[in-house]
Amino acid sequence: VTEIFDATWLDLREPFDHRARSVQLADALVARLPARPKLLDLGAGSGSLFRFLAPRIGRAQVWTLLDADPAMIDAAFDRIAGWAEFNDWPVTTPGRAMLLHTPGGAWRIEAVIADLAAVSTLPVAKHDAVVNTALCDLVSRAWIETLVPRLKAPFYAALMVDGRASWAPPHPLDRAVAAAFKRDQGRNKGFGPALGPKAPAVMIEAFKAAGWQVATAASDWRIGPADTEMLQAVIDGDAMAATIAEERSTDRFLDWRDDRRHQASRGKLRLTLGHRDLLALPR
Ligand SMILES: C[S@@+](CC[C@H](N)C(=O)[O-])C[C@H]1O[C@@H](n2cnc3c(N)ncnc32)[C@H](O)[C@@H]1O
């Protein structure tokens, strides 16, 4: 099963992702990087993690954005150029790369179109860090266990779902929706059975078994009553996934969706959605 990821959805979630990621873990990664570090971003999408981490690194750096979807890579270059313009950083495009000329040095961005499922072909050994965001709950245990022995440099995985969802006010069908949603999260997303909310625990286990030092931190989305568009997107996404996982309960899930949409449109709903970030360092 191939999932289609939509750049519009990634745009909508980007500010929530930026506020959610653990600054402490990100800075611990940055502290381990050499001068002019080379980073490989797995499933880079439209470049959200680059826009979060590059300013924290600050100095000259080289990024390889890897994604299977050429349209995503186009979106990434578009978004990065717009972001550079907003910040008054000149942009040049030597060959197929993009260079942002920032006061702290040149930030070089390259792209690779590749299937992450083919672990043995990933260029992980050429980089000073292998990073990703909103990816590791899509992969399988077998995928991570195949990847870990190939890694030599720090591995940073931001925003893995951990299964917590706290709606205010509560709704009698929240638990039924959450249970069905959780089943959908385990569906194969192209890597074998997806880890879904088991991702943080399985990743910790895989790195510890290989003797790596592992740290994690909460990175929950905090979606407030004024964030109507984001609430609507999460409500619709949850209801749709629950329906796919459990077709017999479709009517109940649609009732839940309609009640939640109504509350969101009146500014009467908030949601805290649980995520974890992970930083694994080789000893
Ligand atoms: C949930 S999105 C996250 C994107 C980006 N990291 C972000 O947070 O905005 C997952 C990304 O992984 C990419 N992806 C999914 N399966 C893939 C595969 N088998 N090989 C390469 N990329 C894949 C998708 O195209 C998408 O861009």
Read off the pTM: 0.96
**CA of residue 116 to ligand 1 center, whole Å:** 9
User: What pLDDT, in 10s, does the model give residues 164-201?
Assistant: 999 999 999 999 999 999 999 999 999 999 999 999 99
Q: Which protein residues touch ligand 1 with a CB less than 6 Å away?
A: 5, 10, 43-46, 48-49, 67-69, 72, 115-117, 133-135, 190
Q: 102 CB contacts (<8 Å, ≥6 apart)? A: 87, 89
User: What pLDDT, in 10s, does the model give residues 11-56?
Assistant: 999 999 999 999 999 999 999 999 999 999 999 999 999 999 999 9
Q: 84 CB contacts (<8 Å, ≥6 apart)? A: 90, 91, 100
Tokens of 276: 């974890």
Q: From CA 81, how far away is CA 84, in angstroms rounded?
A: 5
Q: From CA 194, how far away is CA 190, in angstroms rounded?
A: 8
**Per-residue burial over 25-54, b = 16 or more CB atoms within 10 Å of its CB, e = otherwise:** bbebbbeebeeebbbbbbbbbbbbbbbbbb
What are phi and psi for residue 27, nearest 5 degrees? Answer: -70, -30
Mutational pocket test of ligand 1: of 6, 8, 10, 156, the residue with most ligand atoms within 8 Å of the beta carbon:
10
Supply the residue whose CA is at minimum distance from atom 27 of ligand 1.
45
Supply the residue whose CA is at minimum distance from atom 26 of ligand 1.
45
Q: Percent of the chain at pLDDT above 90? A: 96
